[in-house]
Amino acid sequence: MAAAIPSIACLGVIGRNNNPLHITVFPSYDAATNTRAPLRTPLQFSLLLSSTLDVFETRSRRGNTSTPGPGSAGGATATTPIVTGDFGLLHAVDERLAAYGFETNTGVKFVAVVDMRGRLPPGSVSTAAGVAPPTPGLGGSGGGLLGAGAGVRGGVGLRETELRVVFRAMQTAYVRLLQNPFYDPDEHAPLTPPVGNGGAGAGGSGKRITSRKFVEEMRRIGENWAPGVANV
């Protein structure tokens, strides 16, 4: 059987006060049983998202630390803030899961947890229960993702830039959500931030995102991504 390729195991959105806004969990391929099921429970993934907050904070603080500026005389310093928002790899959870992050200029954080062996490669066929044959050119919960020739790479490693298309799509979906006149972002941000950086797993007074369109968009993004995909 062909080696499995990376897939999205979880997508999470965390509010500007470190409060959880949204989480979608995706099934992963299990070679032992030839089936697909999530690697972790939603609660475990929530705790995993919570663990990334310290990394976001540390990277942001480091990025805004004064450093010697180019051509500065007498040891003068210049501030070098993180502007792009792309935090890349936040941390490797284990031999299969790795968390990648992006932060908007308003402090909303997007986290993509990748399963390095989460999906059968395009062209693989499995008729076992829970693993449908691949459908060319169509993302979904089956074993395949895209048709042959879609530019999907196999392999063990994963470049950080591979996730930029995911975060771009998540940000687009979030901007569309903000454009909804019935969505009030202040209702989804607690007045008092959670104590410490356990807010993403511990809850908080802010509301979760319940927009069906946004939820469907997150699921579409996660199901249609694979290494090498240029647009989701």
- Of 144, 136, 135, the closest CA to residue 36 belongs to 144
Q: What is the pTM of this model?
A: 0.74
69 domain-assigned: no
CA distances from 201 to 44, 45, 119, 196, 198 (A): 9, 8, 27, 11, 6
- Of 112, 115, 18, the closest CA to residue 57 belongs to 18
CA distances from 113 to 92, 140, 168 (A): 9, 18, 15
One pLDDT digit (tens) per residue for the chain, 232 residues? 568 899 999 999 999 999 999 999 999 998 888 899 999 999 999 999 999 999 999 888 876 544 444 444 444 444 444 446 889 999 899 999 999 999 999 899 999 999 999 998 876 655 444 444 443 333 333 333 333 333 333 334 688 789 999 999 999 999 999 999 999 888 887 766 555 444 444 444 578 999 999 999 999 999 999 998 999 8
What's 19's domain CATH number?
A: 3.30.450.70
72 domain-assigned: no
Domain count, the chain: 1
75 domain-assigned: no
Residue 64: what pLDDT? Answer: 55
131 domain-assigned: yes
State the first-to-last Cα distance of the chain, in angstroms, to the nearest integer.
Answer: 27
Range of the domain at 171: 5-64+80-224
213 domain-assigned: yes
The two structure tokens encoding residue 168: 């771009």
135 domain-assigned: yes
Token pair 């899961």 is found at 97
CA dihedral of residues 25, 27, 32, 34 (deg, nearest 10) = 170
74 domain-assigned: no
Exposure letters 29-59 (e unless 16+ CB within 10 A, then b): bbeeebbbeebbeeeebbebbbbbbebbeeb
Helix runs in 88-128, H state only: none
232 domain-assigned: no
